Structure 1
């Protein structure tokens, strides 16, 4: 693929990913409240959702997916419901000095599915792949090599953006060491995550 086309796609995708929204708000709230535990699974779900949208667009299935909107609405509400549950857990968490949360059996899969459902039901993501992507890349003439390049660019750009959000949130979390500060952080991030869930559900 022409390097200039790939560069334009990477820049456009990077801007679209970096613009704060419900998904990044939920990710930052999760890291502030619980550290990095589960962040990888949530980010993996987001990334896998984008790869599914990219594949569907390239294969010409995006319009079919758009006609199945009721299915995506259900998926979106399921993700929003789990975000609300996480928000409640943060809000009611006991005050304690910040420690890395211990793994909970099955939580990684739930967070992965939450990230996936939030991505698949996000209108901004749908708009990017249905309306913007075809203007950036000549999809009818895209070869398998070209698709691999586009997918690899997506993974690199999205991983970079999400990693930056996680690192910044983790640094902010380490600034607050007392149990009282952590109570404020937990309740504040719980409120942010609840707001993200409402934003996801109402979009």
Structure 2
């Protein structure tokens, strides 16, 4: 069930930079290690609805229904564009005073949850990938699904927390230079916008 192949594939999926990684890293740079850990937790919790949808069979409906996929994708694109706009406008996001006005935990977690909740690729990932590692002849296949999902979520949390910690390590260099702050702010805004464009252009 939980094979080396499964672990390696999950590791590749989790480590590959995406919107969740970008959000966690930007939070680590602008708010510090603790804030990035909360952001990572939010991104991890955002996986739960996709897991539940798959377990309940709703993912099969979404997979078959082009309209449902397109609606979720459009919402994801709009949210990424909002993050790009908000990041571009927040000129003090990476400044030395950012930690002093740290976002509330519920906001950090909520943004992470929403970011992954509006990622239609996660539902398709659970639908197309995880079943390959479930033994259909097993006495409790849903228990296997739950265990595999839990491993994937645990790996996501650990890797994202690690990304945030690395970002925090560079934080002192960032807040010491206004030029670096501006480049990072514009770079993260552009990256969010690029991900929105990629999601908008993606097929089912």
TM-score (norm 2): 0.74
* Alignment partners' CA distance in 1, 2:84 and 2:98: 18
* Alignment partners' CA distance in 1, 2:157 and 2:106: 23
Instruction: Report how many residues are paired.
Output: 197
**Correspondence for 1:161:** 159
Q: CA RMSD in A?
A: 3.2
Larger displacement relative to structure 2 (35-44 or 64-73): 35-44
TM-score (norm 1): 0.74
CA contact (8 A) 1:57 1:130 kept: yes
Query: Equivalent residues in 2 for 1:83-162 (5 A)?
Result: 83-94=80-91, 96-97=95-96, 99-100=98-99, 101-103=101-103, 107-108=107-108, 110-119=110-119, 121-122=120-121, 125-139=122-136, 141=138, 143=140, 145-162=143-160
**Correspondence for 1:11:** 8
**Correspondence for 1:189:** 188
Unaligned runs of 5+ in 1: none
- Where do 4+ consecutive residues of structure 1 move more than 6 Å? none
CA contact (8 A) 1:32 1:185 kept: no
